[in-house]
Chain A
Amino acid sequence: MLSRVAERMYWFGRYLERMENTSRLVNVNANLLLDLPWVIRHVWDSLINISGSADIFFEKYENAGERNVIRFLLADESYSGSLICSIRMMRENVRTTREIMPSEAWEQINEFYLYARSDVQKALRRKGRHEFLDDTISFCHQITGLLAGCMSHGEAYNFIRIGRNLERADMTTRIVDVGCMNLLTGKEDIPETYDNILWMNVLRSITAYQMYRQHVQDRVNGEDVVEFLMKDVTFPRAVAHCLGELGQCVSQLPRNDHPLRSMTRVQRMISEMDVPKLFENNLHDFIDQLQVELADIHGQVAQTWFDYGPPVQEQNGQTQTQLQK
């Protein structure tokens, strides 16, 4: 398989996952808002923190109110992490590798892209938001299902899965991080009921609530939630599970020494993680370190399969960087 194609499949996987995550995050928080009238400001700017783009945001917008945050996350064409950009980049990666996927997938992706472009504005108002985000999430599932059912589970598919699971692990760590920050910093003025609701919200942001409930019988509390989202190997959005998936995909690919090594390191980090102890003081630092390690896996994947090769002068990575950014 061509390196360039592998790279585009990988990014396709990432963007598809990012679309779903962003939609879910906005949807869940819009719901939370209805429960917690007093915490309005708090909720919306925590979404900006989760996206890791506070700098970019405050360069363009005065305040992190609902309207601005929603526009930024969903419809801002100039912010590369927005939903509409993810959709465009997802499509672009497929458009340039159409021969790899079943043609039905391309038809559906193209159709959804056209729909999203014309309808994303509706999501800026509360009335149409839920429907649009639901449609986006359903679309992601539809494509994921179509590929699972109709695309050979070979190399191309593995690269999509690698992209998906790295993006997913990254998102889960971000959500946990921000969840903890919110709670830890304002501990004394948050009554316990709301503490409870906020943790439920963290879980809901990544559809983990029900699965968590089945898994943990005790009432919702921070330590258990973090333990679950980091270490559970069966829940698809838990970091440990994502790493397991990554390991499976990577071990099926040729010349996988370096990525495999860097992944094993992260896996060990997760399994040796002492949640109760970290909860006491430096959970945030730990997650920072974890994100650095996840970025390293990305680097290893790229170096091994995308950007290797004899030193050829003419190779310019311009088109590729454009696609990623």
Chain B
Amino acid sequence: MKFNRYPVNGFYDELITSGRRARTSAGRLLQCLKKMDQADLQQRKEAAELAIKTMGITFTVYSEGENIDREWPYDIIPRIIPLREWQRIEKGLEQRLTALNHFIDDIYNDQKILKDKVVPASLLKTSSNYRKECQGMKPVFGVWAHICGSDLIRDRDGTIYVLEDNLRVPSGVSYMLENRKVTKRVFPELFEDYNILPMGDYPSHLLDTLSAISPRPMDYPEAVVLTPGIFNSAYFEHAFLAQQMGAELVEGSDLIVGDDDCVYMKTIEGLSRIDVIYRRIDDLFIDPEVFNPDSVLGVPGLMRAWKQGNVALANAPGAGVADDKVVYTYVPEMIRYYLDEDAIIPNVPSFSCADEKQRKHVLANLDKLVVKPANESGGYGMLIGPQSSGRQRTEMARRIKASPRNYIAQPVITLSTVPTICDNSIEPRHVDLRPFTLQSDRTYVTAGGLTRVALVKGSLVVNSSQGGGSKDTWVVGPEK
């Protein structure tokens, strides 16, 4: 395959400079690709597809009636990040999650940051992820968000921004791990040449993180993964993580809260006590006694058990208060306020529609901005100005005026690209990056993350539920 006609103009490509030279660490990969002809490439692509099929790596799309399982979309050309650049990102992510946890703990206790007027108190009243039931709780180490998936993007000048912090039930880490396995099957020779940081130890770090927050001091606390069940879009991941950690994968109906306010699971030996729950169910569904009374996914009494300190929940209920796109705009201030540091990774400049002046600007420039609902994930309900129709913009303007607090807007960031296999050629496609950060008594960041790629030409939407694919991500150290 030749790269001399690869169109790099205008975008930042992760592997190729604007002068069409290989970036740091990308040389050998590109050389290897150059040596391959169309047939070779096709063969490797098919090998990858077969591997994904037989490994049963699937994801689920909500709207697809009967056929709920789809094979995971994956592109064989990896994205490369040089170790030095990665080390800075890693620090930035640690810093950010530390500040976010300070913020959540503060919000549910003294609310100093509101009293000091660094963050407006009105924000809390209108946040749909603020849980008054959590007021006064003090989870161990002051950590509420134990698992965070941050979305990073790179603009055309090469700057990396944090686009979102996912603090509720971030998903994708299993695909990150499986992508690596598939790439090893497809390009074994490159793993010999390159010094690629391994990432396979994530599940054991996750188990350590969970064990550390157990309310009972013991060597092997009983940790479980709580899933909404087989029909959830991330069920594959829930099962995967449980298996990798050697933890039970439980559904709500497997758990019972006893009269002693402790949580038990139903086993063949009888009831057995649980210490830590990695819950992959949204706050509002975890306990029908406290939140949504119709929920059949949750466990009646779970909040009671948590508040009594008899069970640890990861992430803690209410952690989502910091995972709100309006709160997001204050994260750099939080970092300064709690840590007295400047943010290592900047935020994307954002306009908050709650502010009248900013809202006017947004409404006047809908065709140039990206508008996002404050509390949605998965790319739902978003408007990408330059690619929108007049009708879509009118509709969005109506919604913004109806509830300004629920919307923020950002300039369009032209996401960086990575060479991607398209029908008969290799073309640039836009990508983002979701690394995962774990925090309890220690902090751990995955080496790399899940690179998501918008497979449609020119598209900036990378969500797998909306036609996105994925790539393996290599953090590459100095050559051997």
Contacts and interface: CB of A to CB of B under 8 A. Distances in A.
Q: Which of A2, A114, A305, A314 has the most CB of B within 10 A?
A: A2
Contact of B230 (A95, A108, A114): A95
A107 B56 contact: yes
A255 B269 CA distance: 7
A316 interface: yes
Interface stretch (B28-36, B207-215, B250-258, B427-435): B250-258
Contact of A254 (B230, B249, B268, B271): B268
Contact of A316 (B53, B253, B254, B270): B253
Nearest to B225: A99
Contact of A4 (B243, B253, B256): B253
B268 A305 contact: yes
Nearest to A256: B268
A308 B270 CA distance: 9
B249 A99 contact: yes
Nearest to A253: B268
Interface residues of B, number: 27
A114 B267 contact: no
A3 B254 contact: yes
Contacts of B271: 309
B253 A315 contact: yes
A253 B268 CA distance: 8
Contact of B300 (A4, A314, A319): A314
Given A96-B230, A110-B56, A310-B256, A4 B296 contact: no
B251 A4 contact: yes
Nearest to A92: B230
B266 A2 contact: yes
Contacts of B243: 98-100, 103
Interface in B261-282: 265-271
B266 A309 contact: yes
Interface in B120-134: none
A89 to B, nearest CB: 13
B323 to A, nearest CB: 28
B253 A111 contact: no
A158 to B, nearest CB: 10
A1 interface: yes
A61 B248 CA distance: 45
A235 B427 CA distance: 62
Interface string B227-255: 00110000000011011000111110110
Contacts of A166: none
Contacts of A314: 253, 296, 300
Interface string A258-273: 0000000000000000
Interface string A281-325: 000000000000000000000000100111010111001000000
A155 interface: yes
B254 A4 contact: yes
Contacts of A139: none
A197 B248 CA distance: 52
Contacts of B240: 98-99
A106 interface: yes
A226 interface: no
A180 interface: no
A6 interface: yes
Interface string A104-125: 0011101100100000000000
8 contacts: A1-B267, A1-B268, A2-B266, A4-B254, A106-B56, A110-B53, A110-B55, A254-B270
In the A-B complex, the 4 residue pairs with the smallest Cβ-Cβ separation, listed nearest first, are A99-B243, A110-B56, A305-B268, A99-B242
Given A4-B266, A114-B53, A319-B229, 6 more contacts: A2-B265, A3-B267, A95-B56, A99-B243, A305-B268, A314-B300
